[in-house]
Structure 1
């Protein structure tokens, strides 16, 4: 087994030392006051019918409103071109989420909020995070009615998503299926937030009411959102320098340690995008780009591809002290 460990370590080192270019353009979108409010705790992004949808975590247990905001892509284009005009927006109320929460709570899984958002054909899918000790997260779906400004959830659809276990049989702290994407308009792909087990990491391929395990090589740090880009996918890969997140840390000789430690060994937050290739029986990944230094400490939770770049949104954590919508364009 020693040769296998050495081989895997070499592959990991090669992955880490690959060039990780930064983006050539970054622009912060000036959000309306209501959307910039940090208590929205945005957790997902998705483009749909000419809009960028921003998913609020919708923490019903804290009396938060279940909602999704919409920004017209044409208005965002004007901002990217230099306009300072205020952004108009729409708010879509999510109907039926309270019933899904009641079902989850009755199963003792305990609802904690919405984490992922994607579109498959004309149906929106949302992943739901549960308390750490729960065996499952969940998936719900619904249809957006622009005329009524609502998203009506399908009350008959509540799909359990089994959480991976740590080697000692426990669950990773505060982790769920945050990354959710439609793939080639035929199925959904869900990635768990923690994927650095020595073996048995997996994503879930979802069709209708079934979930199939897809092999995934060890992937360090958090994975907080994922979106398709042609035949590949792009994901946020983020390390949060928090005392409660020790499960996401690694130390030398692990080659990934150099990305999250300074010259004297102190941990520091780190943000990048990675590229993934999905085939039926497995997923491979490689670094794509590292975010500019001034954006490393934001807790990026939402990702949407647009034209030659990406929109990213944080929850409520980061130096801005509010919701921040960022656009990155690659070279």
Structure 2
């Protein structure tokens, strides 16, 4: 039995689709990250300012989620947090010759939200920003003095991986661990550990075991342990993610003479100063074609959300509920 299927049997889940309010289901939100904050599930919008999108994070009340899981007619309660100061950050990137594309990762340390900015492919850096959450005013006010450049890992020919950024952020020992989307270079795959103390913000390199396909979000599930989304898109734009002929991973994504979408969760471990991984579970076939961008752990299960891509053609939030 393939290892992925054997592991899936050991961690069985029921996949439950939640009904989002119309405002949240709007595909133009292009959700790119999830984070569990107390009694809230935070939904990070890509906030594509270049498309006149609003900079925002939604907070869904978890009590209403529990109610809907019991009674499908119950509506999810939510509120919106405006992200203040993002236009000014974008202007700083413009002046540095980097091009803002959107927000991709979200994590929190206390009441401080850390978010990653993805830039266009030719840009050499992605960025880490932070802001304080004000519940009374329902806003996240960005720290104007905090803008940490994260150099994009790149092939030896000096180009950059198409449409890739630091999509996975997790808080780790009062630091932010940032994992790049592409981790299948022949050598030198690495994440960044960013200190959050006033003494320094210089990212430190953390080696990553060679990992196929995209990594689009990651969540802490215990001491030095994480779960991450490992996703493959079959389109030609993502040809760089295709395993070479003869690669053991190719069987997961090849279909006849072409390719198929593929998505699984993987278990990631931080030990000995480096990150290693192993398969955890594959998603059911009917959910392989969604572009899953956000992951959060909840009651021994997981929330997953897509951006706007997938058969539903809108924001889709699902809950993997442990049996």
TM range (shorter): over 0.9
Q: Does 1:159 align with 2:148?
A: yes
Give yes or no for contact 2:32–2:105 (8 Å, CA) kept in 1. Answer: yes
Match in the other structure for 1:96: 85
Give yes or no for contact 1:15–1:286 (8 Å, CA) kept in 2. Answer: no
Q: Distance in 2 between matches of 1:330 and 1:151?
A: 33
Q: Does 1:207 align with 2:207?
A: no
Q: State the shift of 1:130 in Å.
A: 0.5
Q: Does 1:282 align with 2:274?
A: yes
Q: Does 1:19 align with 2:21?
A: no
Q: Distance in 1 between matches of 2:2 and 2:64?
A: 39
Match in the other structure for 1:220: 212
Q: Does 1:302 align with 2:298?
A: no
Q: Does 1:177 align with 2:177?
A: no
Q: Distance in 2 between matches of 1:246 and 1:205?
A: 29
**TM-score w.r.t. length of structure 1:** 0.92
Q: Distance in 2 between matches of 1:36 and 1:108?
A: 34
Match in the other structure for 2:177: 189
Match in the other structure for 2:75: 86
CA RMSD of aligned residues (A): 1.6
Gaps in structure 1 of 5+ consecutive residues: 1-13
- Taking a change above 3 Å as real, the CA distance of residues 170 and 280 of structure 1, as seen in their structure-2 partners, is same
Q: Distance in 1 between matches of 2:98 and 2:310?
A: 29
Deviations 1:146-205 (A, max 9, x none): 111111010110000011011322110010000111124x21111100000011000111
Deviations 1:274-293 (A, max 9, x none): 00001352111000010111
Match in the other structure for 1:32: 21
Give yes or no for contact 2:7–2:279 (8 Å, CA) kept in 1. Answer: yes
Deviations 1:240-293 (A, max 9, x none): 11111100011431000000012x232000000000001352111000010111
SS of residue paired to 2:259: coil
**TM-score w.r.t. length of structure 2:** 0.95
Q: Distance in 1 between matches of 2:271 and 2:95?
A: 37
Aligned length: 316
Give yes or no for contact 2:228–2:266 (8 Å, CA) kept in 1. Answer: yes
